Structure 1
Amino acid sequence: MIYPHNFEQKIGFDQIRQLLKDKCLSTLGEERVTDMVFSEQFEAIDEQLNQITEFVRIIQEEDNFPDQYFFDVRPSLKRIRVEGMYLDEHELFDLRRSLETIRDIVRFLQKEDIEEESDTPYPSLKKLAGDIAVFPQLISKIDGILDKYGKVKDNASADLLKIRRELANTTSSISRSLNSILRNAQSEGYVDKDVTPTMRDGRLVIPVAPALKRKIKGIVHDESASGKTVFIEPAEVVEANNRIRELEAEERREIIRILTVFSDTLRPSIPDILQSYEFLAEIDFIRAKSYFAIQTNSIKPILQDTQLLDWTMAVHPLLQLSLAKHGKKVIPLDIELHKDQRILIISGPNAGGKSVCLKTVGLLQYMLQCGMLIPLHERSHAGLFGNIFIDIGDEQSIEDDLSTYSSHLTNMKVMIKNCNERSLILIDEFGGGTEPQIGGAIAEAVLERYNNRKTFGVITTHYQNLKHYADDHEGVVNGAMLYDRHLMQPLFQLQIGNPGSSFAVEIARKIGLPEDVIADASEIVGSEYINADKYLQDIVRDKRYWEGKRQTIRQREKHMEETIARYETEMEELRKSRKEILKQAKEDAERMLQESNAKIENTIRTIKEAQAEKEKTKQARQELADFRQSIEEQAAKDLEGKIARKMEKLKEKQERKKDKKKASPKTDTTVSVPKVEPISTGTLVKIKGQTSVGEVLEISGENAVVAFGSIKTNVKLDRLERSGAAPKKQEPQKSTFVSTQTHDSMYEKKLSFKQDLDVRGMRGDEALQAVTYFVDDAILVGMDRVRILHGTGTGILRSLIRQYLQTVSGVKRAADEHVQFGGAGITVVDLA
């Protein structure tokens, strides 16, 4: 149960509906938004939230979801249930495209997730698409009737093909006859030389001057706007033109017959097709809710099938969107209601955010139970309620004879009658609108009824007795909207645990109320009340201070844990680096010893070859053994020194770059550098970092002239290096460079270019300037053919344009348009 009837308007959900409708692609989704209702079914709500969450992933991670054609053809399908009715070409084309979209969506949702090795990455949406028919044969039949532009094909039936061929032949015959009549008239001087047949009311006619209209036998169909030209249908082609009209009527009847036959075959499948469109409507609905969730940073909280509010960083979505336009952010709300803390009494200063807090709870809970994601932190928990009641705003009604307090009492009566342990009540300014003492007493009595019925609720008030009630009774808890006493401004933060002060004295003093008035008011209310209010402010202030301290300690502890973990990681990396240094140093020492052994053996072999005496040989061996021992000792000392130095350097790097992973320093080894011959004239070289090989032609100081193929360039010597390879013959490269920006600009220009130019009514110089720009642009964007509309008239404009086109090198041919499409009134220009 939702109370009252204008509940959605009070919490702002009517605006949410409109925002969702704006994101729908068709009336299919808009109807679902209109029909969206509050639910308390846990499984249904959980499934809806899962569907939206999965679709949000599709929007953010996929780029090929098929949402091109969402057409609502349900009214057309319902109309053709009657025998003899048929879908017209446009309706059939919309049916074909939307059926294709349904088919593609079903395939998309039923695809397997190869990366995750699971059946589908979107299980809830796949379940939604599980038994939806996709009608591939129906799509194929429509493809046999319509072309890609949605027009009936010539070969849709044999009769239609025959009719259209005869229509084309008759039109061609008329054109030939008219041209013959026109040439005779031109030779007799009845018609100007540059006049061509034109079309009027679907009939081919000849333009003639009014004074000469009786020279050509026929029917006058029309005259030009200026009255200087009449359009005559020669008698010789009247019958042929009549035949064209007959053929056009036959063509239309055949098209209707084809569409009627198809509609007859479609009729038995209409119930299944309508079911598929319900699926398309649901996808449009889910898509709209997903885009709204992304816009408001909404998520699915941890949903529980119980009565619970445990929200962290909850945000009012409409307030969030409104403030975002001005570059501001909403202060989030933390609120918790559970079995032991069911009713929250919020107090605090006026304009401190109490009503916003109340509306946030009502709107987000209603959105959630309408199957929408809500803006809060992902660690939040949310439950479900069977009833939601709200009493907010002034419900005065002259028609119903209700005062403000009467309307509040009416709402209290309904809530007391219907609330239970599954209800959520939201009351603003509880007990207000009447004399404070009796109003507060009635409010406390009603609050006791709510508490006894285990009802959940959020209530705002200024009454002290309600604050005391919350302190003295289980299930009810105080909350305060915080206020900065020094800056004298609200903080819009909710703190649960203590009541809030109204800060009436402070606000009055800030506004500038005389000090004697404030003193008299304080004396009237009594020092005990003023002191109690002051103590309450101090408690709130101290609690806020210690809460800040606790947060600071938590942050420092977290920072300390992160620092310890980072140092442990760095020490582990240090130990690994030390092992690698030792290993590398040992390998270097071993290599040095092997080289020494080779030298020793070589010395001994030399001694043997010299046939030295045994004693001298023995002495040489001893000397070499001493030499080997000295090398080993020196290597050990060097190794120890190198390790110490490397470790010291590594520690310094760790200090300088705490958060970056260091590469292990390599052991210093001596590398012999081969002697590099200087670069001279005739040397094959290449620029460092490049592969092109050139030949040095001349050296002047620190610069050299190098030939890379046919190109000579001046390069500094220190940028060159010798190359043993001969220069490769390079293909000539284009010197023109087109930037990406220019390329994109040309592409956009080509897309927006119109192939027809209308210069009718212009003066000669204006028309030539327009044609010049038009032809230049056409050549620039690569058009093959364009048309210039200049009209027939006296023919001067046509002659000027033709003369100019003959001078343009990019124009291959300029000729009259086909008589059926404008004749001499249009010049067709073929471009090179």
Structure 2
Amino acid sequence: MNEKVLDTLEYNKIKDQLAGFLTTDRGHEIVQNLQPSGDYAVVDQQLKETADGADIVRLAGEIPIPKLTEISPYMKRLKIENAALSGTELAHITKLLRAVKTVSQFFEDFKNEEVTLRTVPKTVAKLTLMPDITTRMVQSIDDDGRVLDSASSQLRAIRRTIEQTQSNIRTRMGKYLKGSESKYLSEPIITVRDERFVLPIRAEYKSHFGGIVHDQSASGQTLYVEPSNVVEMNNQLRRDQLAERTEQRRILAELTEMIRPYRQELLENMNLVGQLDFVNAKAKYAHQSGAVLPKISTENVVNLRHARHPLIAKEKVVPNDIKIGADYQTIIVTGPNTGGKTITIKTVGLLQLMGQSGLFITADEESQIGVFDDVFADIGDDQSIEANLSTFSSHMDNIIAIMKQLTDKSLVLLDELGAGTDPKEGAALAMAIIDAIHRSGCEMIATTHYPELKAFAYNRPGIINASMEFDVETLRPTYRLLLGIPGQSNALNIASRLGMPEQIVQQAKSFTDSENQDINNMIAELTSQTKRAHDEADELATELSEATKLHADLQKRFDQYQNQKDRLQEHAREQANEIVEKAKHNADKIIADLHRKQRQVGKTTVKENELIDAKGALNQLEVAPSLKRNKVLKKEKAKHNFKAGDEVLVKSYGQQGTLIRQEKNGLWDIQLGILKMQIEEADLEKVGKQAQPKAKYQTHVSRTRSTGMSPTLDLRGHRYEEAMYELDRYVDSALLAGYPTITIIHGKGTGALRKGVTDYLKRNSRVKSFGYSAPNAGGDGSTVVQFK
């Protein structure tokens, strides 16, 4: 791809925005070297990679990649025998090793998600895990490059000795800070000079105090003196500190030797993590800008739906539908300036460059791009004082260079073609250039304000007119592209609406060519018809969207009704069967009693067949009960005919509340005491306004057993706002259920969720205490909460 078009279309600004989402030095290097590709397979692969990143961002937030410094300079030093790395350098390598482990575990967990990734798992599979080396490095070096006590038992012992010696020195010197000796001090503090503990002594008491002078103040009034009774202790401290440094150097050398054989693996890991960082950035940039995955045409058919310029704020830019490459290969956009022609062709070019770089494009779903071997653009005023070129000469120089390089697989964008010279000659030259480029078979979009090109486009196969809509009523451009309609001159109409005397306007019209007047009238009519068609299409689209939404809502409610109906009928049938079973039991008792009495009195008072018929009729009530007029069923239906203001029982909590409203998702907002919650309709039962839950449902044990809630809330994969909402709702539910303790799993990741959970728990007055789980139960990836 030629460098000039990247500057012309401001491609580097897209890269700058993309770089804002990176966390690694290698990721920045990848973005810096990013270029559009003209290879279909490469573009397809890169877009699939971005689609994987978008799925990960949607489902899990993002790939957990920390800020990583480039390690390639350290790896070069490792080629030198006996060269040792510093603590800071080893800390950067440790961060990489830890990141590789975290990323590998992240993708292992991601296998449980609902989507199958296309290309990213292949990158992850190339990562080299070094568990033993990672463990050793993590135990030895902290993030700031300091050697940890756990690096060796000898270092730990030396540091404990140093701490003890320092404590003894401070204890002994502390006696000088109080009592009669304190009057010799400039101020009652213990300080350090030349790595030895000293006291600030007034200069006039030097001979009285004694000791070794190590320094003095700028005024000479204060001497920093090491008391005689701590000299040997300071000497011992110094010896221990030297031993500590020697042991630290030994450990750093040992760690360096440990990783020296793995230079290539570490470099490859750095490259792979940088590539995953790039995937993260592409996905997050697409999410922020509202970009979508485009289709790719092997025939270079471009179909951009509601395309918008990515560098203009979404709320300000006017989206346009742009098609080229199928029925026509050349678009000539005519009409006056300030109508948005330049932005439109820049949008097409920049979206093509983004798509061919593996980035999502700012357009609607189902948009399609081509894969051009090169994109050429001549846009703007390239007047060059140094080269003594006018605007016209500069444009011609660019166009000549473009015509020498283009192929039938190229895309050419020309702005204000033929401008800067005599109008008639400029128009003629513009037509000749368009004809020549069109014959090459490439695709081209050219803008011009020459009216001669309107008829030229109309008479050429494969070329179509277009214009930017202009609202004569408001005297403002709408920035909407109208394909198939040439631009019209609005100078006389605008002058008239601005108050130009009608006599002058009419005289001006008499000076214009009648043919041009007819063309303008025709264009005005076409524009009016097209605008009406667009407005009607927009109105129909809105109505269709509303109808679709209504249909979906009705379907959802119908499905809920069907599910509830079947459940209610089954429940009513069970209750009816219970009544019948009870009646059968009583009937059996009566019949048995009658038989007993018959045997006692020795005579038959009731015929046997009558008894059998009566029992059979009772049995039929259980096999096929008629529920159409069943009072039990009617009563159950009445319990579930909800409306705002009804008093209801939340069955899962055993609590009574008041319905507020039903949300679009089917859930009911309900006020439970001081709490407001969203509950599924199936979990509600209407009760009388004076009804109260029985006491047995209020006990701690009953609520805990009836809820069916898990004592653990897993927030991993949730966005921050969603997670905080779920946490608030869950804690309310746990309090209602009577749980004394719950566990909240927030993961480690970037720490944002963990901090949000901690802040929320600090604010909640019902929380007695909380802290991280035990190391074998998740560590700082989960928090255990105890309620009051």
Which stretch shifts more, 386-395 or 467-476?
Answer: 467-476
From 511, 519, 522, give the equivalent of 1:524: 511
- 1:426 maps to 2:413: yes
State the one-letter code of the partner of 1:140. Answer: T
Query: Compared with structure 1, are the counterparts of its residues 122 and 111 closer, same or farther at alpha carbon in structure 2 (3 Å cutoff)?
Result: farther
From 310, 316, 324, give the equivalent of 1:317: 310
Classify the secondary structure of the residue corresponding to 2:125: coil
Distance 1:563 1:59 in 2: 30
Aligned to 1:54: 52
CA distances 1:456-512 after superposition (whole Å, capped 9, x unpaired): 011112222322222212211112222233333222222222223232222333444
State the one-letter code of the partner of 1:502. Answer: S
| Paired residues of 1:347 and 1:502 also in contact (CA < 8 A) | no
Distance 2:567 2:191 in 1: 94
Aligned to 2:399: 412
Aligned to 1:679: none
Aligned to 1:345: 332
Aligned to 1:544: 531
Query: Compared with structure 1, are the counterparts of its residues 97 and 530 closer, same or farther at alpha carbon in structure 2 (3 Å cutoff)?
Result: same
Aligned to 2:128: 133
Distance 1:27 1:314 in 2: 33
The residue correspondences of 1:377-526 to structure 2 (distance < 5 A) are: 377-526=364-513
After TM superposition, give the deviation of residue 444 of structure 1 in Å. Answer: 0.6
Query: Compared with structure 1, are the counterparts of its residues 190 and 316 closer, same or farther at alpha carbon in structure 2 (3 Å cutoff)?
Result: closer
From 95, 98, 105, give the equivalent of 1:97: 95
Classify the secondary structure of the residue corresponding to 1:388: strand
Query: Compared with structure 1, are the counterparts of its residues 579 and 149 closer, same or farther at alpha carbon in structure 2 (3 Å cutoff)?
Result: closer
| Paired residues of 1:109 and 1:122 also in contact (CA < 8 A) | no
| Paired residues of 2:19 and 2:281 also in contact (CA < 8 A) | yes
After TM superposition, give the deviation of residue 234 of structure 1 in Å. Answer: 3.4
After TM superposition, give the deviation of residue 625 of structure 1 in Å. Answer: 11
- 1:303 maps to 2:296: yes
Which stretch shifts more, 205-214 or 222-231?
Answer: 222-231
After TM superposition, give the deviation of residue 202 of structure 1 in Å. Answer: 2.0
Aligned to 1:268: 261
Aligned to 1:763: none
State the one-letter code of the partner of 2:251. Answer: I
Aligned to 2:754: none
Classify the secondary structure of the residue corresponding to 1:57: helix
Distance 1:209 1:549 in 2: 94
| Paired residues of 2:418 and 2:426 also in contact (CA < 8 A) | yes
| Paired residues of 2:184 and 2:209 also in contact (CA < 8 A) | no
- 1:743 maps to 2:774: no
The residue correspondences of 1:350-389 to structure 2 (distance < 5 A) are: 350-389=337-376
Aligned to 2:27: 29
From 313, 318, 330, give the equivalent of 1:331: 318
Indicate the percent of aligned positions where both proteins have the same amino acid: 28
| Paired residues of 1:488 and 1:506 also in contact (CA < 8 A) | no
Classify the secondary structure of the residue corresponding to 2:478: strand
After TM superposition, give the deviation of residue 312 of structure 1 in Å. Answer: 0.9
Aligned to 1:792: none
After TM superposition, give the deviation of residue 612 of structure 1 in Å. Answer: 13
Aligned to 2:208: 215
Aligned to 2:722: none
State the one-letter code of the partner of 2:121. Answer: K
After TM superposition, give the deviation of residue 124 of structure 1 in Å. Answer: 0.9
> What is the TM-score with the length of structure 1 in the denominator?
0.67
Distance 1:485 1:40 in 2: 43
State the one-letter code of the partner of 2:262. Answer: S
State the one-letter code of the partner of 2:130. Answer: F
Query: Compared with structure 1, are the counterparts of its residues 592 and 390 closer, same or farther at alpha carbon in structure 2 (3 Å cutoff)?
Result: same
State the one-letter code of the partner of 2:479. Answer: F
Classify the secondary structure of the residue corresponding to 1:293: helix
After TM superposition, give the deviation of residue 64 of structure 1 in Å. Answer: 7.7
Distance 2:559 2:106 in 1: 50
| Paired residues of 1:477 and 1:496 also in contact (CA < 8 A) | yes
| Paired residues of 2:92 and 2:143 also in contact (CA < 8 A) | no
| Paired residues of 1:190 and 1:208 also in contact (CA < 8 A) | no
Distance 2:96 2:71 in 1: 9
After TM superposition, give the deviation of residue 131 of structure 1 in Å. Answer: 2.2
Distance 1:155 1:602 in 2: 86
State the one-letter code of the partner of 1:474. Answer: P
- 1:690 maps to 2:698: yes
CA distances 1:644-687 after superposition (whole Å, capped 9, x unpaired): x99xx99xx99x999989999xxxxxxxxxxxxxxxxxxxx976
- 1:146 maps to 2:141: yes
Distance 1:690 1:177 in 2: 65
| Paired residues of 1:340 and 1:475 also in contact (CA < 8 A) | yes
- 1:199 maps to 2:192: yes
Classify the secondary structure of the residue corresponding to 1:211: helix
Distance 2:560 2:233 in 1: 97
Aligned to 1:781: none
Distance 1:538 1:131 in 2: 63
Distance 1:607 1:19 in 2: 98
After TM superposition, give the deviation of residue 741 of structure 1 in Å. Answer: 6.7
Distance 2:307 2:121 in 1: 31
State the one-letter code of the partner of 1:352. Answer: G
After TM superposition, give the deviation of residue 129 of structure 1 in Å. Answer: 2.2
Distance 2:465 2:456 in 1: 9
Query: Compared with structure 1, are the counterparts of its residues 70 and 594 closer, same or farther at alpha carbon in structure 2 (3 Å cutoff)?
Result: same
Classify the secondary structure of the residue corresponding to 1:318: coil
Which stretch shifts more, 213-222 or 358-367?
Answer: 213-222
State the one-letter code of the partner of 1:506. Answer: N
State the one-letter code of the partner of 2:193. Answer: R
Distance 1:229 1:574 in 2: 92
Distance 2:695 2:441 in 1: 85
- 1:67 maps to 2:65: yes
Distance 1:625 1:278 in 2: 88
| Paired residues of 2:30 and 2:274 also in contact (CA < 8 A) | yes
Aligned to 1:109: 107
After TM superposition, give the deviation of residue 419 of structure 1 in Å. Answer: 1.9
Distance 1:346 1:527 in 2: 23
State the one-letter code of the partner of 1:58. Answer: I
State the one-letter code of the partner of 1:743. Answer: K
| Paired residues of 1:38 and 1:370 also in contact (CA < 8 A) | yes
Distance 1:453 1:280 in 2: 44
After TM superposition, give the deviation of residue 175 of structure 1 in Å. Answer: 5.4
After TM superposition, give the deviation of residue 592 of structure 1 in Å. Answer: 12
Classify the secondary structure of the residue corresponding to 1:129: helix
After TM superposition, give the deviation of residue 449 of structure 1 in Å. Answer: 1.0
State the one-letter code of the partner of 2:112. Answer: I
| Paired residues of 2:97 and 2:130 also in contact (CA < 8 A) | yes
Query: Compared with structure 1, are the counterparts of its residues 229 and 77 closer, same or farther at alpha carbon in structure 2 (3 Å cutoff)?
Result: same
Classify the secondary structure of the residue corresponding to 2:311: helix
Classify the secondary structure of the residue corresponding to 2:329: strand
CA distances 1:591-617 after superposition (whole Å, capped 9, x unpaired): 999899989979998997999999x98
State the one-letter code of the partner of 1:378. Answer: E
Q: How many residues align?
A: 663
| Paired residues of 1:341 and 1:476 also in contact (CA < 8 A) | yes
The residue correspondences of 1:222-261 to structure 2 (distance < 5 A) are: 222-223=215-216, 229-235=222-228, 237-238=230-231, 241-242=234-235, 244-245=237-238, 247-261=240-254
| Structure 1: stretches of 5+ with no match in the other structure | 665-684, 694-729, 733-738, 752-832
After TM superposition, give the deviation of residue 102 of structure 1 in Å. Answer: 2.0
CA distances 1:62-81 after superposition (whole Å, capped 9, x unpaired): 15842234232322332343
Distance 1:222 1:659 in 2: 76
